[in-house]
Every structure is written in structure tokens, then in C-alpha cells.
Amino acid sequence: MKPRQSSLARHIFLTIFAIGAINVLVTLIAVEYIYEDVEDTILSLELAEERAFLERRIDGAEVRRWHSALLTAIYVPDGQTAELPPLLSDRPVPFSAEVADGDKSWLISVERATDPPGVLYIAQDITLLEDREDFMQWAIALLCTVMLLLGLLLARHGTARVLRPLRELTREIRRIEPGTAIDRLHGEYAERELSEIVATLNRMLEALDAYIRREKSLVSLASHELRTPLAVIAGALDVIERRGATGEADRRTLERIRLAANEMQSDVTALLALARRSDSPESETADLTACVQHVIAEIEASVPGAAGRIVCSHSAGSARVRADPALVRMLLRNLVQNAVRHTRGQVRVDIAASQLTVSDDGGGLPAHVRERLSAPQSSRQLPEDGLGLFIVRLICERLGWRYRVLDRTPLGTVFELDWGTEPPTEGL
């Protein structure tokens, strides 16, 4: 099963944004902790100074009260009682905490005094300080939100900045087309890593170009080597026919030899076209019905027991397609001949508007053959058990036709050819 692919851009974006978000969170926690610590320290020091100041003002064993805008204090000597405000009553000794009273906040401190002995109650109004703290917290939260949005924008910009040269390199690689010569990559990149990738790709393209040139030279040489004996065979046949000394049986034999030589010549030309992988548009028109009938006649004449077993049907008229007739005949010959050899029943060839099927009643294709035919183009290998269906696949790829194998084991096999977006023209 093919692993699910993820986006590099998404990974980079999430990484940059996560780093920014973590920095904001750490900063928020640190600021809050430092603010709370500073506030507690200031309040503790102020309250301690207030307590020391008030203890110095106690000069007798009697209840004392102090009151200001932000401070309320009561001293109660041991052995005496005093009316305490609700804010201070029922407080244990000692006691120190922040207490909310309506819309106000108080810092309460209840501790014993030593000279003279008693209990000193202090309530300091810290409402203004708490309001300021709430304002600061909202300001910090707003600042963190702005920082997160800024981090989001920077993450998007950073991701685009990092991937821009990669996308440019991808576009440049896509522009490379197989042909007489493979273009090299000419992009200049400021990043050292990308420059190394470009240099490596150029070395690979140079080696591939040299390999293709050697293969084309070999194909050209093979072309001459194969055509020469075919020309000799054709010339010898002409000489024998001009002598006129052959009987009827010999003439039929010579006719079959000439037919086979002509077919070999067409096959050599077609195979060379496949090997060169010419991308020029086809200028010829192939009559599918005529090609099928030609192939049927050839197979019935050359394969023992094939006569009468191949049935051809077509929807209407004579279907024609833009394609090399030699390639089409080779394609059909391999398909029909393969079906005839692997079944003793009928082989049916059906021609429709944009599809051609070859079906038989044999035992079906072996599993390894089906796997090879359905494998992606880049993974194809030269088969060891025959070239017939391998050539079928190459020709389909060359013509731009789609093909599909329907295995109906044990009822046989159906091979579908589909030229899809460019349907044949009826009756050209």
C-alpha cells in the first residue's frame, strides 16, 4: 500500500509557527510569574513597613485605631476586646491573605505585637493595584495575540521563502523533454544545497544523454543490418519469379515468403520507430477494419489450425484512426496471434466507436503476465517468456492508447484498446 504523502510546505509552516507559539507561551508565563512575584514582594515589604511603623506608635495597654484612605489598622491589647469591622472579625491569628469585599480588594494581615503584647489588625486597600494588574493581563493577552498573528504571517512568509527555490527547480526539471538532446539545468541558486542538487542532476542528465546517444547509434546500425538481408530476400524472390520456372505450389510458397518479408520490413520500421520514441504526430490514417482483416488473413495462412477460428465484427462502416498502419497491424497481430495460440476456441475481434476488444475462451493470462501488463511504465522490464504482449504495451504507449486486460479465468481473457479523446472517424 502506498504510504500517505504529506506536504513539506505544511511541515515547515507548522514548525515555524509552533516555534513562535512556544516562544509566546513561555514569555507569557515568565511575565506573569515575574509580575506576581514583584507584586507580592512589594506588598509584603510595604505591609511590613506599615506594621513596624504602627507598632512604634503603640504607647499603652489600650485599643488603638488608625484609618487612612488606603489603610485600616486596629490594635487590641491582650485581655481586652474591641469591635472589629466585618472585614477583620473572626480572623485567626496569625492570618495573611488577599480578600475580596464587594468591588474592592484588601490585603489582610493579623499578627501579634510583642511590646506591649496584643494583636495588630491591618487591612490595606489594594483595589487600584488589582485593577492595574487586570489591565496589564489584558494588555499582555492582546500582545500575545498580536505576536501569534505576526508569527502566523512570518511562518507563511518563511515557508514560501524556503520553498520558492525548490518550486523553481521543480518547474525547470519539468521543462526537460526527451529528444535529440537533453537540456541541462541552468538555474542559479544562492543556497549551497540546491546548487549541489543541480550539479548532481546535471551530471546524471549528461550520463543519460550519452547513454541515449549510444542507444540511438546502435538502433541506427541495427536498422541497416536488418534491412540489408530483407532487401536480399526481396531481390532473390524477384529473380526467381522472373525465371518463370516455378510451379503453382512453388509460387504459393514464394508468395508467402514475399508476404513474410514485407511484413518483416514493416515490423522493422515500426520497431525502430518505437525504439526512437519519436514524438512527432502521426500523419497517416489506419483503417482498423482493413488492418484486422489483413491480420486475420495472415494468421490463418501462417498458423496451423487458425482458419475459421477468428471472427471480426464492427459497429458500422470502416473505422479509421490517426496512426501508423504498420504499428496498428503489429499491435493487432500480436494480440490476435497470442489469443489463437492459447485457446482452441474462437477468437473475437470487436470494433466499436472508440474501442477495440480481442477476446478468447482460453485459460486466462498467468498471474506474472497480468502483473507485468498492469505495472507502471517506469517499472517495465523485458520479459523472458516472449515479446508479444510486451510489444503490445509499447505500441499502446507510443500511440497514446489506453489498454486494459480483463481476466475471466477460466472463461478466457478480454483485451481492450481505447483511444478515448480521439475517436476514429467513420468512413474516411
State the cell numbers at 28.
507569557
Q: Quote the Cα angle for 133-136-139, to 5°.
A: 155
Q: Which residue has the cell 486597600?
A: 125
Choose between 43 and 57: higher pLDDT: 57
Mean pLDDT, the chain, whole residue set = 79
Distance of CA 9 to CAs 16, 167, 190, Å?
11, 11, 20
Closest to 87 (Cα-Cα) out of 100, 69, 68, 70: 100
How does pLDDT run across 196-211, given as a tens digit for each residue? 888 888 888 888 888 8
Q: Which helix (H) or strand (E) holds 299?
A: helix 288-302
pLDDT in tens, 166-193: 888 888 888 877 655 677 887 677 778 8
Phi-psi region of 395 (alpha: psi -120 to 50; beta: other; left: phi over 0): alpha
Give the Cα separation of 426 and 351 in Å (integer): 11
Higher pLDDT, 159 or 274: 159
For residue 418, which amino acid is it?
D
Domain ranges of the chain: 8-150, 192-256, 282-426
- Here the cell at position 169 is 527547480
d(CA 193, CA 376): 31
Q: How confident is the model at residue 270 (pLDDT cuts 50, 70, 90)?
A: low
Assess contact for 361 and 345: CB atoms under 8 A: yes
Q: Say whether pLDDT at 329 is over 60.
A: yes
Mean pLDDT of 251-276: 73
Q: Where are the alpha helices (DSSP H) in 94-191?
A: 127-174
pLDDT for 386 beyond 80? no
pLDDT band of 273, cuts 50, 70, 90? low
Task: Name the CATH superfamily housing domain 282-426.
Answer: Histidine kinase-like ATPase, C-terminal domain (3.30.565.10)
% the chain with pLDDT above 90: 0
**Cβ of 122: how many Cβ atoms within 10 Å?**
22
Nearest to 391 by CA among 323, 318, 333, 322: 333
> What percent of the chain is helix, strand and coil (3-state, nearest 5)?
55, 20, 30
Orientation of helix 192-243 relative to helix 248-276, angle to 10°:
170
